[in-house]
Amino acid sequence: MVSRGCAPSNRPEFTGEECSRKFRSLKMRYKIIMERNSKTGNSRQSWQYFSQMENLLLGDPAVQPVAAASSLPTTSAPTPTPSSPKKRKTNSSREPKWVGSFRAELRAMHEERMELEKSKLSLEERRVQALERLANASDQ
């Protein structure tokens, strides 16, 4: 079990699924607070784990997307380049090793998802081209 190495001996053990569910819940709360704080007119909201979650999820595309996809027609106006998020100072000088490996794992999963999405898009484009050829052939 993953949690055996993390939990002190006097604490109950948690399953990997329980740990995963808890982390997803913390991540969702962080995202909700980030979205609420980004809207104007709202008072800033905080949470005791906010700075730790911000340091952990800094640069995570699932939390702060690199770009937004849209089906709207493009305009000739240049798109703004995303500014890199500023890193906050923390009380601890070093983060645990598992945080770095977790970030690397998240990046690898994201890159894998992006490759799958690119291949799906390519297949869809080929399907549209085939349908267009079929439609043109039936018109003639």
State pLDDT tens for residues 91-139: 556 778 888 889 999 999 999 999 999 999 999 999 999 999 999 988 8
What is the pTM (predicted TM-score) of this model?
Answer: 0.40
Task: Please name the residues in contact with 85: beta carbons below 8 A apart, sequence gap of 6 or more.
Answer: 58, 59, 64
State pLDDT tens for residues 3-48: 555 555 677 788 888 888 988 898 888 888 888 888 877 788 888 8
Q: How many CA atoms lie within 13 A of 36 on its CB side?
A: 12
